[in-house]
Amino acid sequence: MSLNYSAVAWNPDKKRYDLLMSLGVVAYLGAFIGLGVLLHPQATAETLLIRAIGTLALVLLHIILAIGPLCRLNALFLPLLYNRRHLGVTMFLLALAHGLFALIQFHSGGDLPALLSLFTSNTSWTRITSIPFQLFGLLALLILFAMAATSHDFWLKNLTAPVWKALHMLVYVAYPLLFAHVCFGALQSETSPVYPVIVGAGFALLATLHLLAARRGRPIDREAPHENTFVEVCRVNDIPEKRARIVTLSGERVAVFRYDGKISAVSNVCQHQNGPLGEGKIVAGCITCPWHGYQYLPDTGASPPPFTETIPTYQVRVIEDRVLVHPSPSPAGTRLEPALIATPCKR
């Protein structure tokens, strides 16, 4: 967590991540342009550069959208999530460069200003092969700009997590716009179906990953019936030590943690980026979000000082080996006595 807003301090892991990402960007651009010269010797250097940057931005967008479901399916992908915003800002800068170079290349030589030419040079919406595909790209770029401009935690704090999350979910609006931008653009300039097929394969991959992640989360959302009274959610041994069992009560996901002979329940939603707290673990006495390491005390739902984030807590009881949770949350930061796990009597 960050107590103050200051210049980003890159730790060794982030430096290695950014170095590998930068080397990957250079390698991709070099390989794309090199192959382009061999396969399309008639293409200009400017055209090859525009295509290289644009396709790389699209590849990075697919990687970014795949990280979330991959992390839900396998925790080995979590390190990618920690640095996803670096990848997102890089993707936006590449998309911006692609758009600016294309604007200069195709719209700066006429009598009209380049941006006005973009809106007026092609207004045909009646034929698939002449649809003004550049407008789709411009709309997507505006969405990506809003996301990149608000990527710092300063905006997350001041916009509040729900508003910030809703803004960044617009990436799922930008994606189909870019899909249309590429497909309609390829129909106008390429006779080969390679580009549409590749983009279609990327869409199929993302759809499959998201459906698999949703399928894994479906059992969690099956809510047990209740009448505003304690609900049995699991057995004590169903919860690994210093881990959680995620259940749904009153339409909300609740993380039920077991630790040091006690049981506590808190909201499953981290206040940073709505991360799944129940998929994290207790470290040094604190629930630690698996996404970015935000921490909360399990009995109060409050972050340890000097941090001030709080989450709702839930009343818990343990009867024999059954764990029961009340479906009504207490106000965020309310301390509730943990339920004690009975120790078997020794004979």
DSSP string, 120-145: HS----SSGGG--HHHHHHHHHHHHH
Say whether both 210 and 261 belong to one domain: no
Inside any domain, residue 327? yes
Inside any domain, residue 153? yes
183-201: average pLDDT: 78
Say whether both 235 and 125 belong to one domain: no
Strands (E), 198-321: 231-235, 244-249, 252-259, 262-267, 281-283, 286-288, 295-296, 313-314, 316-319
Q: Identify the bridge partners of residue 264 per DSSP, sorted by sequence position.
A: 257
Inside any domain, residue 7? no
pLDDT digits (tens, 9 = 90+) for 149-169: 998 878 877 887 788 888 999
Inside any domain, residue 5? no
Give the pTM. Answer: 0.78
**Single-letter code of the amino acid located at 60:** L
Looking at the structure of the chain, the number of domains it has is 2
Say whether both 202 and 330 belong to one domain: no
Q: What is the residue range of 246's domain? A: 231-340
41-51: average pLDDT: 90
Inside any domain, residue 316? yes
Say whether both 27 and 175 belong to one domain: yes
259-265: average pLDDT: 95
Looking at residue 237, the DSSP 8-state letter turns out to be G
Task: Check residue 214 and give its pLDDT.
Answer: 87
What CA–CA distance (Å, rounded) separates 250 from 322?
Answer: 20
Helix (H) or strand (E) holding 322: strand 322-325
Inside any domain, residue 226? no
Q: Among 132, 210, 143, 196, which residue's Cα sits nearest to residue 173?
A: 143
Say whether both 70 and 151 belong to one domain: yes
Say whether both 39 and 114 belong to one domain: yes
- End-of-domain residue from the set 184, 199, 219: 219
Inside any domain, residue 3? no
pLDDT digits (tens, 9 = 90+) for 197-228: 888 899 999 999 999 988 887 776 666 566 67
Q: pLDDT category, 54, cuts 50, 70, 90? A: very high
Residue 170 has pLDDT above 80, yes or no: yes
Q: What CATH code is carried by the domain that includes residue 314? A: 2.102.10.10
Q: Which range, of 115-124, 275-284, 329-338, averages the lowest pLDDT?
A: 115-124
Inside any domain, residue 2? no
Task: Check residue 8 and give its pLDDT.
Answer: 46
Whether the Cβ atoms of residue 287 and residue 297 lie closer than 8 Å to each other: yes
- End-of-domain residue from the set 193, 219, 245: 219
Say whether both 193 and 51 belong to one domain: yes
Task: Check residue 56 and give its pLDDT.
Answer: 96
Say whether both 187 and 39 belong to one domain: yes
- End-of-domain residue from the set 160, 193, 219: 219
What CA–CA distance (Å, rounded) separates 327 from 221?
Answer: 14
pLDDT digits (tens, 9 = 90+) for 56-113: 999 999 999 999 899 888 878 887 887 788 899 999 999 999 999 999 988 888 888 8
pLDDT digits (tens, 9 = 90+) for 290-304: 888 889 999 999 999
Say whether both 139 and 239 belong to one domain: no
Residue 14 has pLDDT above 90, yes or no: no
Say whether both 23 and 161 belong to one domain: yes
319-344: average pLDDT: 90
What CA–CA distance (Å, rounded) separates 185 from 179?
Answer: 10
Mean residue pLDDT across the chain = 87
